Amino acid sequence: MTIYDQLLSIRREKGAGFFVLLDPDDHAPEVLAAKACLCRDAGVDALLIGGSRMVNHDFKEAVTAVKSACDLPLIIFPGGHTQLSPDADALLFLSLISGRNPRWLIEEHVQAAPLIHSYELETISTGYMLIASGKTTAVEEVSGTQPLPRDNPGLAADHALAGQYLGLKMIYLEAGSGADAPVPDEIVAAVRRTVHLPLIVGGGIRSPEIAAAKVRAGADFIAVGTALETEAGEEILRQYVKTVHEIGKRRSHTR
């Protein structure tokens, strides 16, 4: 079974899934490995690994350490073509469809393609959409693109629909690491009504209650990273996991 099939299975069986993002720029490989084990024990569904700033040259070492310590699905969430490793289970092949910078629409992908092929990495083509969050985030700085406005759900839905027509497999709505505010529920709901693709929502999700609101609005997967840096204990992780799964199951029963 592919990792993508596993994600679809999580959505089908649990209603919604919970991901934790590990950033190699913030922690040494051994620390990331310990965090991964904590996530596994708390019931996290999958791990994302990657960062926006691309300053860490030990990316492969970090991936190897995490994968050696933990059997959770490990999916690269790349900040660029240098963030690749054959030890990961899959790669979100991100195209920044909310922006107009060709580097993040196709150029990075062309540079990454030969390595991905040689590593035999599973790719999950994903439309990456940056939504304004109240401040300039690292993703905005690195990508050199403007986020979509928070008050125009229809525009976000149109971008997601274009991604679906392009044949993408997932949509990722992103407020940005350390965002002041998460993606508005209205945008999540508008995208959910418009496309049938699995929908990931991340950035600015600082509590299980906020995660629950995104699932109620239509998110299939919640991704949290920065919010867990100061309180990454097993108990808070379990709260996130329990909340996301419970709300996801309730939502699936009403469909």
CATH number reported for the structural domain that contains residue 170 in this entry: 3.20.20.390
C-alpha separations of 28 from 24, 65, 198 in Å: 7, 10, 32
What is the residue range of 50's domain? 3-254
Report pLDDT digits (tens) over 195-253.
Answer: 999 999 999 999 999 999 999 999 999 999 977 776 568 899 999 999 999 999 998 87
What radius of gyration, in Å, describes the C-alpha atoms of the chain? 17
Q: Which two tokens stand for residue 9?
A: 């299975």
Domains identified in the chain, total number: 1
Angstrom distances, CA of residue 170 to CA of 24, 105, 165, 174, 240: 24, 15, 12, 13, 22
Give 84-122 pLDDT, tens digit per residue: 999 999 999 999 999 999 999 999 999 999 999 999 999
Kindly report the length of the chain: 255
Contacts for 232 with CB less than 8 Å, ≥ 6 apart? 35, 38
- Distance from the Cα of residue 190 to its chain's centroid: 19
What is the rounded CA–CA span in Å between residue 187 and residue 185? Answer: 5
Nearest one of 213, 169, 170 to 189, comparing CA atoms: 213
pTM exceeding 0.85: yes
Nearest CA-CA partner of 226 in 164, 135, 159, 154:
135
pLDDT at 37 over 60: yes
| 67 in Cβ contact with 32 (< 8 Å) | no
In the numeric block, which tokens belong to residue 137?
């985030």
Residue 55 pLDDT > 70: no
Residue 206: per-residue pLDDT: 93
